Amino acid sequence: MTVDLGATTTSQAAPDEPRRRAGSRRRELASGYALAVPALVLYAAFMLWPISQTLWLSFTNWNGLTSSPTWAGLDNYRRLVGDDRFYNGLLNNLYWVIGSWLAQGLGLLLAALLSAQWIRGRTLFRTILFVPATMALVVVGIAWEQIYSPGDGLLNTALSAVGLDSLSRGWLADESTAMSAVIATANWTYYGFAMVVFLGGLQAIDRHLYEAAAMDGAGAWSQFRHITVPGLRNQITLLLVVSFINTLRTFDLVYVMTNGGPGEATEVVAYHVYALAFVTRQVGYGAAAAVVLTVVILVATTIFLWLREKDS
């Protein structure tokens, strides 16, 4: 009888265990989802909903003031194909992407220098050099606008002081220098971020590789080229992708410093989108340009990452 009871107890306990585990797993899942709900709601409200709205608006004509946009089908996209100003913006963006590589190069150079053990006060230098990366772009734009100011701007004053008056000009007023001047400002804010990322990467490189290379007679440049750069591949990829995305969607500096001028010399696609939607009140057309810009960023980033993966 006792055995029977025991057997009964044992036979009842065996199937209860997985049920308990399953119940516990369900509860964990439920609480996990519950915890994720606020983030999902926020993501849906502030990302998915605006994205879907933008996509929908791109198929309409709307001035942003009337209550009802009118359906336009693919008209906005067809118009975009022949829009020279959109291509001009895209070209300016690409110029900016290439220009941003200078900031990464500078970041890499500074990181390599500040890794040298013989430099005293490295932490202080790193902190000082990183400061521009912490500043709001609007503030940076206003400050650099003063630096570039024609006549008594800091840059022109400095050039005059060293006898280079002939180079003085209205840096943002001249069609041939305005874009480079804006890119230089952006690079000033960006090199610090690149430097910090590279510094992190440098710390992960085995010091013994440098010692071995030195024993084999490799000089500083050779060590940099054959050890440092390959060791920073992941950081380089990360920075190229991040700067590519940031550069293509850049807006603040152009808005603050030049309004896209002179003429359209510094107009990038994001500024063009803003002007279409909020200045000329072609919200639908501006939305179409924004959608195309997003697709360009997604496609280019995907190709870049795919090539990187394939290469490695």
Partner 1 sequence: MSQRSQHRAYLRPASAAAGVLALVLAGCVGGGAPSSPAADDGPTPGEDARLSVISQLGDNPALQGVLQRLNEAYMEANPGVTVDIEYLTLEDLTKTLPTTLASGAGPDVFDYDANESSLGELARSELVLPLDPYADEYGWTESLAVSAASRTTYDDALFGVPRSSEAVGLFYNADAFTRLRIGAPTSYDAFIAAAERLQEEGLTPIAFGNKDQWPSGHLVGAALHSMTALSTIESFETLSGSGSWTDPSVLESFDEAARWAAEGYITPDFNGVSFDDALKSFYAGQAGMFVEGTGVTPDIIENMADTSVEFVSFPMRDEDLEQQAQGGVGGAWAISASSAAPAIAADWLDFVHFSDEAERAWLQAGVLPTTDYDGAGVDVPALVADNLSVVSAAQEGGGIGYWTGYSTSPLVTDAWNSGGQLLLAGDAAPDEVAASLDEALEQARSNDP
Q: Which residues bind partner 1 (CB under 8 A)?
A: 63-67, 148-151, 169-175, 258-264, 275, 278-282
The residue among 153 and 192 lying less far from partner 1, judged by its C-beta, is 153
Q: How far is CA 154 from CA 102, 137, 143, 174, in A?
A: 22, 19, 10, 17
Nearer to partner 1, 170 or 231 (CB): 170
Tell me, letter by letter, the H, E, C secondary structure of the chain: CHHHHHHHHHHHHHHHHHHHHHHHHHHHHHHHHHHHHHHHHHHHHHHHHHHHHHHHHCCEECCCCCCCCEECCCHHHHHHHCCHHHHHHHHHHHHHHHHHHHHHHHHHHHHHHHHCCCCCCHHHHHHHHHHHHHCCHHHHHHHHHHHCCCCCCHHHHHHHHCCCHHHCCCCCCCCCCHHHHHHHHHHHHHHHHHHHHHHHHHHCCCHHHHHHHHHCCCCHHHHHHHHHHHHCHHHHHHHHHHHHHHHHCCCHHHHHHCCCCCCCCCCCHHHHHHHHHHHCCCHHHHHHHHHHHHHHHHHHHHHHHHHHHHHC
CA distance 199 to 129: 12
Q: Closest separation between CB of residue 235 and partner 1, Å?
A: 37
Q: For residues 310 and 312, what is the distance between their CA atoms, to the nearest angstrom?
A: 6
How many CA atoms within 13 Å lie on the side-chain side of 111?
25
In the bound state with partner 1, the residue whose beta carbon lies nearer, of 140 and 265, is 265
Given a contact cutoff of 8 angstroms between Cβ atoms, the answer to whether 87 and 95 are in contact is no
Q: At its nearest, how many Å lie between partner 1 and the CB of residue 62?
A: 10
As given in the structure block, the two tokens for residue 57 are 């608006």
Cβ nearer to partner 1, comparing 58 with 104? 58
Identity of the residue, 173 or 296, whose beta carbon is nearer to partner 1 in the bound complex: 173
> Which C-beta is closer to partner 1: that of 8 or that of 146?
146
Residue 58 or 266 having the CB closest to partner 1: 266
Q: Shortest distance, CB of residue 42 to partner 1, whole angstroms?
A: 22
Nearer to partner 1, 160 or 301 (CB): 160
